[in-house]
Structure 1
Amino acid sequence: MDNREQGDIHGDVPAIAHLGAAPLPAPADGTPTDWSVLPAVRGNEDSVVMELWRLLRQEPALIVSAGYVLLSLLGLWSSYFFYLRFKLSILDYLQISDFLVAGLRDPAYAGILGGGMLLAILVTWPDTLRRRNPDKVEALRARHWAWRVVFSRSWLTSWDISGLRPLTGVSVAVVCYMALGAAIYSLNKAENIRDAGQGTRVVVHLAGDGAPLPGDARLLGSSSAFVFLWWPQQHRAEAVPISAIKRMQSVVVPPTGAVAPAARPAAAAR
């Protein structure tokens, strides 16, 4: 028999020594990283938010109605804390029409809503990246301890511990932030009027009176039937029926250092 040695073949049997060598490295993963900050939808099919979203997609008209109701509830919540500083039970003075427009009186509520959504999305971004790019995140965690901290499964950066779906958790966080932010904003606004003398100064003329009411009033707000005033001198708040008011004038305070209108001609004559 002719035993020939040619290349990797010894006779009629191929050489198998190379099978025991170290395996070739796997090709690098060319999948681009998904950097989206929006919560991952996959795995949230049974969440409450997804169920509501499916309902709203079937009935688009409900989106406007639901948004309007949420904004009205936010306005009522804020009004309660605002008038609480003045010892006024605002809910006793409101009618049905006032409930519907309570959230449209201050554009700051839109800023509170946007800020809450942005904050919740940024805080949960590590958890979103971990769900969208599990292999790459695990590689980063194995590389340095800082990445292990960023992508840790803690109560602050992950919804796994809370038992909530990511979409549901983000929605709950946004609602809580809106409620807390609106309450703090309303309380600070009320304290600035009550203690710092801010707010709109008004002169009130009642029906049947020739002279305005004495004192320096601050306009707190109004409803469909009442005007709410704050009297700093008496440290008293009151609700005046609109039917009892003949006229209300705002008082514009000139900036510091401004020349009074009566003194301008004399200064020009010089």
Structure 2
Amino acid sequence: MHTTESGDIHGDVPAIAHLTTDAVPAAGSAPPTDWSVLPVVQGNEDSVVMVVWRLLRQEPALIVSAGYVLLSLLGLWSSYFFYRGFQLSILDYLQVSDFLVAGLRDPAYAAILAGGALLAILVGWPDTLRRRNPARVDALRARHWGWRVLFSRSALTSWDMSGMRPLTGVCMAVAFFMALGAAIYSLDKAENIRQSGQGSAVTVHLAGDTAALPGTARLLGSSTGFVFLWWPQQQRAEAVPISAIKRMQSVVLPARPAAAPIPPPAQTAR
């Protein structure tokens, strides 16, 4: 039998010696560790989040509507706790148009949403690593007790104890942290206005009056039909109809003292 050896051909079999170990992993080698913090999608096809996501992909216009609803709910939730500190029932003064823009009045809500999502992902990261790298996690658990605690199946590190899908659990955790953060932020903001005198200081001129009301108020916010004020001298809040206000002026800030001119350098006599 005649056998030729030319280039990369040995007989009828192509040579494969030029293939590197990166292309074909060695037998018995462990797969690379997947450090992704995103929840595992596989196995979550029947979760509520995936059902809603598939619906939004079929009807993209619903994304805008859903976004408005979420922002409105966050704004109403925050407004309730903020005005509650001033003994004002804010829901009695809002109209339909106020509900739609309630979540757009403060950019801090975006930071609260991002913080809640980050915290929920970090809390669920051990469970995500355990699902993505079962062999690697088992090896770490056998090495030290700290890894066993971190990757244990508890209510704080695994969604298995809750009976929810990981995607559903993460989204619910984000909603919880977002609501908690918005409530704490609103209560702290109201406390700073009441106790520390923060907020926008304004003078109020009512319709039909020639002079402004005595004292300065803190502007809490406004709606379609009302302006909400806090009077620190009387320690009371009130909702004033917009039609009853002639003019509102911000308090003039004191001018900064002018910097002293730098004297010219002294000249020495020759």
Tell me which residue corresponds to 1:235. 235
TM-score w.r.t. length of structure 2: 0.84
Partners of 2:165 and 2:238 in 1: how far apart?
47
Q: How far apart are the structure 1 equivalents of 2:106 and 2:80? A: 14
Structure 1: how far apart are the matches of 2:141 and 2:237? 59
How far does the alpha carbon of each residue in 1:118-165 deviate from its partner, in whole angstroms, 9 at most, with x for none?
Answer: 010011111001001111111111122121111111110100111111
Q: Give the aligned residue type for 2:33.
A: T
Distance in 2, matches of 1:231 and 1:144, equals 60
Assess if the C-alpha contact under 8 Å between 1:201 and 1:252 holds in 2. no
Q: Who is 1:194 aligned against?
A: 194
Which residue number in structure 2 is paired with residue 247 of structure 1?
247
For residue 171 of structure 2, give the secondary structure of its aligned residue in structure 1: helix
Instruction: State how far apart, in whole Å, the 2-side matches of 1:151 and 1:186 are.
Output: 36
Kindly report which structure 2 residues correspond to 1:58-69, keeping only aligned pairs within 5 A, or say none: 58-69=58-69
Higher helix share: 1
Instruction: Tell me the CA shift for residue 49 of structure 1.
Output: 0.6
Corresponding residue for residue 116 of structure 1: 116
Question: Is 1:167 equivalent to 2:170 in the alignment?
Answer: no
Q: Secondary structure at the match of 1:124?
A: helix
> CA–CA distance in 2 between the matches of 1:253 and 1:173?
44
How many residue pairs match? The answer is: 236
Q: Runs of 5+ in structure 2 lacking a partner? A: 1-25, 262-270
The equivalent residue for 2:54 is 54
Q: How many Å separate the matches in 2 of 1:159 and 1:142?
A: 22
Q: Residues 141 and 36 from structure 1, CA distance in 2 versus in 1: closer, same or farther, beyond 3 angstroms?
A: same
How far is 1:29 from its partner?
A: 2.8
TM-score calculated relative to the size of structure 1: 0.84
Provide structure 1 residue ranges, at least 5 long, that are not aligned to the other structure: 1-25
Percent identity over the alignment?
80
Deviates more, 1:48-57 or 1:26-35: 26-35
Partner residue in 1 for 2:265: none
Determine whether 1:139 maps to 2:149: no
CA distance in 2, matches of 1:113, 1:28: 44
What letter corresponds to residue 88 of structure 2 in structure 1?
L
TM-aligned CA deviation for residue 206 of structure 1: 1.1
Instruction: Report the RMSD for the aligned CA atoms in angstroms.
Output: 1.7
Residue 105 (structure 2) aligns with: 105
Higher Cα Rg, which structure: 1
Give the secondary-structure state (helix, strand or coil) at the position aligned to 1:94. coil
2:222 maps to which residue? 222
